Amino acid sequence: MDKKLPFTVKVFLFPGLAFCFLAALWYAFIALKEEPIPQDKIVASYAYRTPDNIEMSFRDIGDRQFAFSYRSFDGAPVNGRISYPPIEREKYPVLIGISAMGRGYQRWWVDSFKGRPTVTRVNEITRLATEKGYAMIAIDARYHGTRKDSHRSLRSIMSDLHFFGNKSYYEEMVRNTVLDYRVLIDWISRQPNLDGGNLTLAGYSMGAQVALLAAALDPRVDRVIAMVPPHISDKTALVAPKNLAALIKKSSVLLITANDDEYASKEDNLRLYDSVASEGKEHLTFSGGHILPDSYVEVLAERL
């Protein structure tokens, strides 16, 4: 082959070289880079105001369970469910379940939904919490479940993030979901039958990410159960729990991780745990990947 061929011709003649060239261009001009943000600016980005009337409405679905909806800080509709234990009491401690990415709030009550099993077993957490007298509440995250947007799918949000370097929709999704929960906590604190002073957030994967951020921002959270939170780097610093973990001082934190999690290394998990300021913290590690083994629910039962 003629060694004097121009470089551009060689690129197309050698697919491997072309791939490397395009990958370099993608990394240089498109891929997200680490962009740390000062903590005070992150906190300021979560400022919100709860409307005087969030238009909370309920629908009785039986077995002491109610579907509900309300308007969030920006007027967006939020949908969820609340269930009460069978024993009547004056005030119920509250456990808020926060779902993994792609999962609807219903999974906190059922072992399968739309023909797909609840592999995270969060429905068993609800069963245990109910047996221990908790009122159980869960809502859909932005762009999830009953809040899906035909013009902006979750898949497109993640594609924009990973392939096209556009983090705006992802950060907005997580940030606004955190604020949806804070509006919910505002409502809980005003209910005479709910004990706003005994409030637990339990989240799986992205739900753990949201729970940790909410606890860092809201001192009304008494306890966090964070199950396999993904490691979020400063490529999306606005929604990275590591950047606000030092603000979790009042809440006790139970961090549950896996030693072979594809979304967070052992080192990532240890750094996150060390960053949490609360003295009431505990770290449990299980063998396996992002889907925790069945035994994690039994261990969690001892701590509810």
- Return the pLDDT at 102: 95
Instruction: Looking at the structure, tell me whether residues 79 and 176 fall in a common domain.
Output: yes
Contacts of 135 (CB under 8 A, 6+ apart): 82, 83, 84, 85, 92, 93, 94, 95, 193, 194
pLDDT for 272-287, tens place per residue? 999 999 999 999 999 9
Amino acid (1-letter code) at residue 24: A
Coil, strand or helix at 27: helix
- Return the pLDDT at 18: 66
Residue 282 host element (H or E): strand 281-286
CA distance 7 to 115: 54
- Return the pLDDT at 116: 95
Instruction: Looking at the structure, tell me whether residues 141 and 234 fall in a common domain.
Output: yes
Instruction: Looking at the structure, tell me whether residues 9 and 90 fall in a common domain.
Output: no
Instruction: Looking at the structure, tell me whether residues 26 and 135 fall in a common domain.
Output: no
Instruction: Looking at the structure, tell me whether residues 6 and 52 fall in a common domain.
Output: no
Residue 51 structure tokens: 């409307």
Structural domain count of the chain: 2
Instruction: Looking at the structure, tell me whether residues 109 and 233 fall in a common domain.
Output: yes
- Return the pLDDT at 284: 97
Residue 304 structure tokens: 């509810």
CA distance 157 to 171: 10
Mean pLDDT of the chain: 93
CA distance 105 to 115: 15
- Return the pLDDT at 110: 98
Of 76, 207, 194, whose CA–CA distance to 133 is shortest? 194
pLDDT at 21 over 80: no
Instruction: Looking at the structure, tell me whether residues 129 and 270 fall in a common domain.
Output: yes
pLDDT at 5 over 90: no
Q: How confident is the model at residue 137 (pLDDT cuts 50, 70, 90)?
A: very high
Instruction: Looking at the structure, tell me whether residues 240 and 216 fall in a common domain.
Output: yes
Amino acid (1-letter code) at residue 175: R
pLDDT at 14 over 90: no
Instruction: Looking at the structure, tell me whether residues 270 and 134 fall in a common domain.
Output: yes
Q: How confident is the model at residue 78 (pLDDT cuts 50, 70, 90)?
A: very high
Instruction: Looking at the structure, tell me whether residues 130 and 223 fall in a common domain.
Output: yes
**Of 26-40, 75-89, 149-163, which gets the smallest average pLDDT?**
26-40
Instruction: Looking at the structure, tell me whether residues 6 and 86 fall in a common domain.
Output: no
Q: List the domain range (segments joined by +) for residue 222.
A: 34-301
Instruction: Looking at the structure, tell me whether residues 77 and 223 fall in a common domain.
Output: yes
68 or 5, greater pLDDT = 68
pLDDT at 23 over 80: no
Instruction: State mean pLDDT over 188-208.
Output: 97
pLDDT for 219-232, tens place per residue? 999 999 999 999 99
